[in-house]
Amino acid sequence: MALPPAFQGLHHSTQLRKTAHLPMGTLINYSTDKGVAVLTMSDPPANAYTHEMMKELDAAILEARFDTDVHVLVVTGHGEKFFCAGANINMLKEADESFKYYFCLHANETLSRLEQTPKLVIAALNGHTVGGGLEIALACDLRIARKGAYDVGLPEVALGVLPGTGGTQRLTRTVGKAKAMEMMCEGKRLTTEQALAYGLVNKVWEAATNDAFMKLVHEYAHEFVPPGRAPLAVGRIKRAVQSGGEMALEQGLALERELQAELFSSEDARDGIAAYVEKRKPVFRGR
């Protein structure tokens, strides 16, 4: 059976194991390279998402989660101008209230799955990142923006609605209550430099083209894969921060101890500790 175009580039062992279960994706391009999976939203011109795109994104997240050869996920948009402009307004205009509710529910579940996957997720913001596009980026662990004249924000108030795919919650947890209220109530659109000052993005990188930007992102993502980095440790740090940060301190500390105990039993931790004593570089394997 031929692999669907949206999933070409998967590791060979993954193809053999899961080809029959992959959807016929056209809106999310999925590829892997040396431990990094790239999920590209592709619906020109604005990469606005429909329910169909969100279902494909959900499937791609699960594919990357189950692939033991994947240690880092990169989420980005197709083209030079848009990461994602949010939900497709024409779709929402035509939909009834019941569909809109379940559309938002599924989008919330998809982004929660992305957030809770114990692998590092990097959002590569290559253009306008507004509305639901920023909500997708907020569900990622790190956000890297390409320097340029584009907007980052949650302007849903101008439509008479609120950011309904986790934006009110994740933005508040990222930049604090005061800045979040200001951004959402004013429908404020930030430049990349303002987003960096707000703490909304981690890095802003200059690149002549999107291909050059993605090359930089790929190089950065590969810093988190074996043999140079222990991906199990990175994944458990993510779990401790994402889940523990929502708990009382004592519960968070208990989670931290359990995750640490899990890591102590790993081959990576044994080699990492031994390498420190032996004054050599560890060779991590993700086991």
Active-site residue numbers?
A: 135, 156
What burial class does residue 285 get, using C-beta atoms within 10 Å of its C-beta: 0-12 exposed, 13-18 middle, 19+ buried? middle
Count of C-beta atoms within a 10 Å radius of residue 177: 10
Read off φ and ψ for residue 262, nearest 5 degrees: -65, -40
SS3 155: coil
Buried b (16+ CB within 10 A) or exposed e, 81-95: bbbbbbbbeebbeeb
Spatial neighbors of 262 by CB under 8 A, at least 6 apart, are 236
Measured between its terminal Cα atoms, the distance across the chain in Å is: 31
Is residue 84 within a helix (H) or strand (E), and if so which, with residue range? strand 82-84
How much of the chain is helix, strand and coil, in % rounded to 5?
50, 15, 35
d(CA 83, CA 71): 22
Secondary structure (DSSP) of 5-64: GGGTT--HHHHHHHGGG----SSEEEEEETTEEEEEE--TTTT-B-HHHHHHHHHHHHHH
Phi-psi region of 131 (alpha: psi -120 to 50; beta: other; left: phi over 0): left
d(CA 179, CA 168): 11
For tokens 């060979």, the residue is: 12
